[in-house]
Amino acid sequence: MRRWEKPVGDYVKVNCDAAFDTETWNGGWDCVLHDSDGDVVEARRGRNSSTYDFSAVTHLAEELRSFLSLNFISRVV
């Protein structure tokens, strides 16, 4: 297992995780942004359920894309 490494230079590192339960159709996600000092810049979390799209990844991608476009000038994917 590799250790987490802080970003180099003026970059922000985005770490995301998600989980989905196929029995209940519920899921959740979280996202943490770190600066080059390793300090947390921002953290977000969310949940989805059967009242939404059944894919937990869909909501994670939409939320992350929106957050990045509103808060950063550029991004490298």
pLDDT in tens, 6-47: 888 888 888 888 888 888 888 888 888 888 998 988 888 888
For residues 70 and 29, give the distance between their C-alpha atoms in angstroms, rounded to a whole number: 19
Quote the tokens at residue 49: 């359920």
Quote the tokens at residue 52: 């939404």
pLDDT bin (cut points 50, 70, 90) of residue 5 is confident
* Displacement of CA 16 from its chain's centroid (Å): 4
Q: Which of 7-11, 38-42, 53-57, 69-73 is the least confident region?
A: 53-57
User: Structure pTM?
Assistant: 0.57
Higher per-residue pLDDT: 47 or 55: 47
For residues 4 and 18, give the distance between their C-alpha atoms in angstroms, rounded to a whole number: 18
